[in-house]
Amino acid sequence: MKYNKENLLVISSFAKDKITYRKSGETLEKIGGPAFWISRTLKDIGMKFDIITGKRDAEIEITVNKNGESGIIRSVSEIIPEAEINADFIIISTIADEFKLETISNNFKGEIALDLQGYIRASKLNNKEFILPKNIGKKIKIIKLTEEELDFLKSKFIDSYPDIIFIITKGKFGADIIKNGSSFHYCAPKIKFIDTLGAGDVFLAAFTAQIIKCNDIPKSGNYANNYVSQFLKKNKSIEEHEQYNQ
C-alpha cells in the first residue's frame, strides 16, 4: 500500500519535563513529551504532518540515575479530537491513556503506528490487563514497546498479531524489529549517555517515516537506528555534555 505523505497525523502529548540528574544533583526544566520528540524528528526529516494534542502540556518529573530514567506524571490533559479522525497514517504516542483508542472509528481506512508506553503505564497503575481494542487491531501496522512493557503483556501477544511490525527497544542493547517470525537486531551506539529521553519516540518517528516512503522493514530499521545514533551522539553523550559545560 502506498501512502500520501501529506496526510500523516500525530496524536500525542507535549510535556513540561522537570529532570533531576542524581549523579550531579542538577535539575533542569525542558519542553518534552512524545509529541515534542516525534514532531521534531518528522520536521527534521522533511515529513509534513498534522498533530492532535491536549489543551495543556502534561507535567512530568523525571529522575535520571545510573539505572536509567523513572518518572512521575503530575498532570496530563485528555486528547479529544474535534472531528472524526481521517488520515492515511497515524502515529499515536501518549504519556498515559489520555487518548482513548476506541475513539478511532470503525470507518477509519488508514493505518496506525502505536506506541504502547502510555497505555501499559496506565494499565499498571490501574492494575488492569492491557487489551488492544478490536476496532483498531487490523488497522495497526507498527507497535513500539520496551522489553519491560512486553513482559507485562501476555506471552503470546506478538504471536497474536503476525501482520504487525513490532519495535522492541532495549536501551543500551539497541532494538529488535519483529514481524511474522522474522527478526532484525539493531545495536545502540557505543557511547556513554547522559540519558536516553526521547530516543524511543525518535526511533518510532524515523522508522514510520521510512515505512511510509518505502515499506521496507530492514531499510527503515537501519535508517531509524542511524538517525537515533546521531541523535544520542549529538544531544545525549557525556562527552558532548562535558564539552558544552566547559
Question: Residues 35-70: pLDDT tens digits?
Answer: 999 999 999 999 999 999 999 999 988 888 777 777
User: Rounded to whole angstroms, how far apart are CA atoms 20 and 25?
Assistant: 7
Query: What amino acid occupies position 183?
Result: S
Q: What is the DSSP letter of 86?
A: -
**Count of domains forming the chain:** 1
d(CA 150, CA 229): 23
- 238, pLDDT greater than 50: no
Contact 114, 143 (CB under 8 A): yes
Domain that holds residue 43: 5-244
Q: How far apart are CA 213 and CA 108, in angstroms?
A: 21
**CATH number of the domain to which 45 belongs:** 3.40.1190.20
Looking up cell 562527552 gives 239
CB atoms within 10 A of CB 137: 15
pLDDT of 235 reads: 62
Q: Which residue from 114, 18, 117, 102 is spatially nearest to 58, judged by alpha carbons?
A: 18
Q: What is the pLDDT of residues 155-204, one digit of tens each?
A: 789 999 999 999 999 877 889 999 998 999 999 877 776 767 788 999 99
Q: Which residue has the higher pLDDT, 60 or 142?
A: 142
Rounded Cα distance between 11 and 81, Å, is: 9
Q: How many helices, marked H, and strands, marked E, lie in the chain?
A: 7, 12
